[in-house]
Amino acid sequence: MRLTTKGRFAVTAMLDLAMAEENRPVTLAGISERQNISLSYLEQLFSRLRRSGLVTSVRGPGGGYLIAKKPGEISVANIIAAADELIDATQCGGHKNCRGEKPCMTHELWSTLNAKILDYLSAVSLEDLVASQSDERAITISSRIDGKKSIKSSSAVEVMTA
């Protein structure tokens, strides 16, 4: 299981957009320059993000992209799904046919891991990521999931993208 460049870049670009936006459209050229992501790659990603309703485009002079929802309403899982990224640790894509018609011996282990990862990424909002970047103190975000463990959001971004 691995989060590919597509998912990583989608989250990074959305975070950049959320941090740069002040009710003015943000250009993909600006995101490309700040984040060192190919402009053509960003165009493909933002087409998907727009179709998923996470961003809106503004045409003409001064045009660019705006976030379509409040950052607190957009989870990292939403962004990754919009980029058509799958996070799946199973060999079979969750179909339970890892070994022909049967699940492999460790299928439930990997399925449970998938669920935990999805829960975690669903609990981390774009707003959380913005706060972790703009505040010198790292905020805790994983307490939403289990209430016991505390992972600093700056570490969470590393875990998500590792």
| 105 vs 88: CA distance, rounded Å | 16
Q: Can you read off the two tokens belonging to residue 7?
A: 């998912």
Q: What is the predicted pLDDT for the residue at 151?
A: 42
Residues in a beta bridge with 65: 26, 57
Domains of the chain: 5-87+124-161 (1.10.10.10)
User: pLDDT tens digits for 48-88?
Assistant: 999 999 999 999 888 899 999 999 999 999 999 999 877 77
Quick one: pLDDT at residue 156? 43
The Cα 5–Cα 17 span in angstroms is 18
Predicted confidence (pLDDT) per residue in 25-49, tens digit? 999 999 999 999 999 999 999 999 9
* pTM for the whole structure: 0.76
Collapsing DSSP to helix, strand or coil, 27 comes out as coil
Burial class for 122, CB neighbours closer than 10 Å (0-12, 13-18, 19+) = middle
Asked if residues 156 and 124 have their Cβ atoms less than 8 Å apart, the reply is yes
